[in-house]
Structure 1
């Protein structure tokens, strides 16, 4: 016979298990970096130039296509039973930046996620079907490409960051390698220029191109560290939350709004996934706004996942995962000051700190700077007005003086008669 305490525990466990089972996945947002690519540019002394790459600079490689195809297969397996087996345009929306490598990454990913079946097979020998990928022009992109260069306050924060002790000490620490690499490549000395050298050398090494003799493992490692420093510089290091409000917070706002809207039960709602194809800086900007920034460059085809769950009582919660290693399951991520299974209201409250209500206003320079400009303008205007008043008064007084004082004299009648 089972004792009463054990029966109670078993009953409690059964109830808890039922409560967990009732929590249902209702919506997913995925953001991923494009796959392997050719370098963005060559440095002046680079032995490999654009003609050495099949499609030129900044283009998705065949390896990049395979990486994204594998990611699509992973998403198919992970969301089996949640997404329909065949493509349903009402279930998923895909958006990409208007750049070849991200558009092609999205298409490669979808080939793995939605291999055509049944009526969707339009050519028997082709295991692929066209699926729409939406985008906007690069000049209008304010959601998936960071940093945005339209914000004076962000520029000011970058200048402040350069003056911080942490940044200055780091630059001093690496100054020898910066000068060395600049000398070898023909680039002017700066952290951002040296960072671009690492990207070029990394791409070339991935494609079995022989590196110049000066590129030792030590030099390459130092360049990698400088690359990570540059990401910290752009999105963290100094006033990270304010930087987030002006940059990655735009994307976070979109994600939070989608999660919030989908947390409310709606029998007519069929959307299940939003897929975003973007860049390493996009992922890092988002991580900074979530305050889970590691400062490390996301690898090719790395994927940030947001899963929204809802129970029968209408309560909703968010789970986050980060896939940056294809050999293991995605890493669970925890929003600071919230549980891993974060209630949607808490998720909104915490992330609100990184989201601006009026970015255009916050992008203006601080009020004290504007006040100083106004004061200077008023002083100058006041001085000019005072000078104008003095001039006018002088003219009026001059006109009212006696004629004799103005160089004239009275001519007597006698003198007039003698003259005639």
Structure 2
């Protein structure tokens, strides 16, 4: 397919890191982690390397070189063609920097001393610093799926009261795992914070495996796998993935959870594509000077951010099997294409599952899509379904009994009255 306005959006997870926290009885506390500046949640040299390699792979696929597939990004960094957006944490910011180093910071990429970087002793030859933009982490509803959002917490509390989640939580297999873990670490676990233990143990097996076996007497692979299985199911519930629709308080809880988690990101991507298309064909003038030359918009974020895209498109199973969540440096990319024959918009979905893996086109796995390219209508329908009724920062305040809920109810009644009695 020929494209006249190539544009693509990778959403990636940061690389390997230290745990972000751990359980109180863990022999490996914060002072055990010294890389990346030390402490919780810091990107490791391995994580930096993972994104350096991913950046090189992206360059090989998309940059205008003899080896690339598409030849639409320039071989030398051009600030008009790309925008890198990261959540406001060290590990995502440094992952983005490492990735850009792989794409545009290598000696031999054609970068020019004195033009693209200073010709000074001590400056790494070929290194071009590329800006990484960020926003406040707590209010980043696009990149941070754990942003401050009372509505998400309210919906999750409702979900936990549903028959499906309650029956699962009280089942013999699940309750035995949670009760056993509680007893072993002398710490009570609810579904909200259960992830802490498997996350810490996963990383400790990478860095302290021998010591872990010696210092943590209850750790064994069988029990660890049981903990992971429980955590994977919690993860699915939190994104509104249920065996059957959960209807509570006149709401589809699964849909509402997905709207607050995936909706802002999916609508941000689709909105940018629509603006790009409108500007390219004269339907819009505002903002076109910035977006017309733009070809590459990055979201450097987290496993939950990548998962949000996969769940929205109904292909989360590719993260769940054999793992319950996207792994380090996993990246899902939406490529926007315009067919120069029929002037219609299409998209292609490309997935990089983990470090060391390649790029796999997954478009045909999406419901309503056949082949590598799919009508943009399908993506727009997904975004529309997940669009929040108000901007995310306002919609997150809408909970049962909130003042905003009452105002919304008043508006709906007023609209109904105007329609009925006009």
Q: TM-score when scaled to structure 1?
A: 0.77
**Aligned counterpart in structure 1 of residue 398 of structure 2, from 339, 352, 364:** 364
From 218, 221, 235, give the equivalent of 1:231: 235
Q: CA 1:348–1:130 in structure 2 vs 1: closer, same or farther (change >3 Å)?
A: same
Query: Equivalents in 2 of 1:135, 1:104: separation in Å?
Result: 12
Contact 2:155–2:257 at 8 Å: present in 1 too? yes
Q: CA RMSD in A?
A: 2.5
Matches within 5 A, 1:3-402: 20=1, 22-23=2-3, 26-54=6-34, 55-80=38-63, 81-115=71-105, 117-118=111-112, 119-123=115-119, 125-152=124-151, 154-171=152-169, 172=171, 173-209=173-209, 210-211=211-212, 212-236=216-240, 237=242, 238=246, 239-264=253-278, 265=280, 269-294=292-317, 295=320, 296-312=324-340, 313-325=342-354, 326-333=356-363, 334-340=365-371, 341-359=373-391, 360=394, 364-365=398-399
Task: Output the CA distance in 2 between the equivalents of 1:277 and 1:290.
Answer: 19
Q: Distance in 1 between matches of 2:396 and 2:19?
A: 35
How far apart in 2 are the matches of 1:25 and 1:64?
A: 33
CA distance in 1, matches of 2:139, 2:163: 36
Q: Match of 1:5?
A: none
The structure with the largest alpha-carbon Rg is 1
Q: Secondary structure at the match of 1:339?
A: coil
Taking a change above 3 Å as real, the CA distance of residues 193 and 257 of structure 1, as seen in their structure-2 partners, is closer
CA distance in 1, matches of 2:382, 2:262: 15
Q: State whether residues 35 and 60 of structure 1, in contact with CA within 8 Å, keep that contact through their aligned partners in structure 2.
A: yes
Q: How far does the alpha carbon of each residue in 1:355-391 deviate from its partner, in whole angstroms, 9 at most, with x for none? A: 12425358524699978xx9xxxxxxxxxxxxxxxxx
Per the alignment, do residues 165 and 316 of structure 1 end up closer, same or farther by CA in structure 2, a change over 3 Å counting?
Answer: same
Which SS does the other structure have where 1:263 is aligned? helix
- Return the structure number with greater helix share: 1
Gaps of 5+ in 1: 1-19, 375-420
SS at match of 1:244: helix
Structure 2 segments unaligned to the other structure (5+ residues): 64-70, 247-252, 283-288, 410-422
In structure 1, distance between residues paired with 2:193 and 2:390: 33
Q: Is the 8 A contact 1:322 1:332 kept in 2?
A: yes
TM-score w.r.t. the length of structure 2 is 0.77
